[in-house]
Structure 1
Amino acid sequence: MSTGGLHRLKSMRNQLSASERKIAEFILAHPREAIHMTAAELGKRTQTSGASVVRLSKSLQLDGFQDLKMKIAGDLAKPVDQGYRDIKPEEPIDLIIRKITSNTIQSLRDTAEIIDCRELGKAVQILLQAKNVHFFGIGASHIIALDAQQKWLRINRGATAFSDTHLVATQIANAEPSDIVFAISFSGETPEVVKILRLAKMYGVRTISLTKYGPSSVANLAETRLYTSFSMEATFRSGATSSRIAQLHIIDILFLAMASAQYDKIVELLDKTRKATRWLKDNN
């Protein structure tokens, strides 16, 4: 069942136009009523217009109001989410374990709900054709870049994960026609990542972005856009906890989708690298 309509509305409401935000607030307050309305009826009820309802659906990167209604109906049919829970001073260890586990699961579920399978499929095809992938992120996002590089190298794919912008600029200047710059920034506003994407665009290098859901400078510059969920409920989420897991989850999905597309070849490559690392272990 299609879900994620309410999560998209919550994540995007502060970035919508005034009329779109008015519609979003009504839907969030009255979801069961909204899914039985036409766009014209909802526009009249919110003192906006049917066209504004359609624009809201497009702003949420959906195919139309019917698509939004189907996702909201799916949300209403599923169990109620627990939401993100922050830790408190002197929290017992067992409660920290339960809260962080719950937050991680929630983040993965929220991210799965906003994945655009068509955009993800597009990214997979681009990555399968790429000679080299230049993963780039700053701070916690660099950890994601390193994880991706390790995966790509295991299947004999050219991959870099520099955190130095000058080195990445060098890679872009010398890029092959099929090379990809894969930009990672949870906020979507990391200045260094924005500059690298602008440089890639200048040199005609293809780009993929991975950011939080919603419009951002990084996503707007990228040719192909991937997203993780975005929630602000828990203070320590800003320290790259659940958000980092969600980013790793997207990298895993991309990697395994590539493996599925070229199954026999990639299994053979993984077996070769596994044997090499096992030899190191056995010959200490």
Structure 2
Amino acid sequence: MPHTKGGLVILKEMINSLPPSEQKIATYILNNPEESILLTALSLGEKSQTSSAAVIRLCKSLGFSGFQELKIRVAGDLRVETVEEYRDIERNEDYKNIIDKVTSNTIQTLRETVDIMSIKNLEQAVTALTNAKSILFIGFGASYIAARDAEQKFMRINKNVFSFSDVHIAATAIANKGPDDVVVGISFSGNTQEAVKLLQLAKHKNATTISITKYGNSQVNQISDIQLYTSAAREATFRSGATSSRIAQLHVIDILLMCLASKEYDETIKHLDETREAISFLRDKS
């Protein structure tokens, strides 16, 4: 099985959006993970005062193939050393403590993002980007930082790539796209209406759509052909414009880039060398 961790993370991130019976099961697992992985669907249903059918529905809601995958993922989480919860800063806190908290939160977000990543979806996204005639990254607010970063990085390996934060300019660009093009929508919440509308337009034009959102059901990932997820990054009061979630988005962009670069290794090295030479040319004194 390609995934061996991430069960507890996904349960925590999805629990508030689940139906009542599935919430009861999720709560039971989160409170009793060691016991839960030893239970059958029937016994877990009884323990959580629901039913085996509700357990199966929960697995489907979480995006798992079945109860066995849920148990394997939770078991994998239990084998990993316990990590502290996301921590907020306090009034007039010591700078060393702030450094430690921000660093700990970022590391945990990256770990959780990797744990919930679908290798199958990643492969599909890389294939789509590899074959794309053009690539458009769209994002708004803090998510535009990731879109702009993606544009700069993919441009260096000679991809026909653009990023947009203006909805009207993005719509104009998408209007001329088709089946050979890819539109990537980046939205932490997955419900940014500008991103939703633009992806709907891209679908209407038969372009391939990829979403990068937090894990869970959202308008953006429901529209998209290929879904990539980041950890929900339960950020505390002082988010500073989405700190951990922004870094998680950048991490997914880097993973996409490196997978694509590995697939087109020789061409990538050639393009990177050429871009380095171009920068060196600009720096050289005449």
Q: Would you say 1:126 and 2:149 are equivalent positions?
A: no
CA RMSD of aligned residues (A): 1.3
Q: Would you say 1:96 and 2:85 are equivalent positions?
A: no
TM-score normalized with structure 2 length: 0.96
Segment of structure 1 superposing worse, 131-140 or 54-63: 54-63
**Matching residue within 181, 184, 190 for 1:182:** 184
Q: Would you say 1:77 and 2:79 are equivalent positions?
A: yes
TM-superposed CA distance for 1:222, in Å, is 0.7
Hey, what does 1:19 align to over in structure 2?
21
Question: Which amino acid counterpart does residue 63 of structure 1 have in structure 2?
Answer: S
Question: Which amino acid counterpart does residue 263 of structure 2 have in structure 1?
Answer: A
TM-superposed CA distance for 1:233, in Å, is 4.9
- CA distance in 1 between counterparts of 2:235 and 2:132 reads 38
- CA distance in 1 between counterparts of 2:142 and 2:233 reads 17
Q: Would you say 1:41 and 2:46 are equivalent positions?
A: no
TM-superposed CA distance for 1:282, in Å, is 2.1
TM-score normalized with structure 1 length: 0.96
Hey, what does 1:247 align to over in structure 2?
249
State the 4+ residue runs in structure 1 displaced beyond 4 angstroms. Answer: none
Hey, what does 2:195 align to over in structure 1?
193
Q: Would you say 1:138 and 2:140 are equivalent positions?
A: yes
Question: Which amino acid counterpart does residue 53 of structure 1 have in structure 2?
Answer: V
Alignment of 1:97-112 (within 5 A): 97-112=99-114
TM-superposed CA distance for 1:168, in Å, is 1.1
Hey, what does 2:272 align to over in structure 1?
270
The one-character-per-residue Cα deviations of 1:118-150 (angstroms, maximum 9, x if unpaired) are 111111111101011110001111111110000
Question: Which amino acid counterpart does residue 129 of structure 2 have in structure 1?
Answer: L
Q: 1:225 to 1:238 in 2, by over 3 A?
A: farther
- CA distance in 2 between counterparts of 1:201 and 1:177 reads 9
Hey, what does 2:218 align to over in structure 1?
216
The one-character-per-residue Cα deviations of 1:149-201 (angstroms, maximum 9, x if unpaired) are 00111011111112111111111111143111100010111111111111112
- CA distance in 1 between counterparts of 2:26 and 2:240 reads 25
Hey, what does 2:52 align to over in structure 1?
50
Question: Which amino acid counterpart does residue 146 of structure 2 have in structure 1?
Answer: I
Residues 183, 210 of structure 2: 8 Å contact kept: yes
- CA distance in 2 between counterparts of 1:63 and 1:217 reads 22
% same residue: 52
Residues 233, 244 of structure 2: 8 Å contact kept: no
Segment of structure 1 superposing worse, 191-200 or 249-258: 191-200
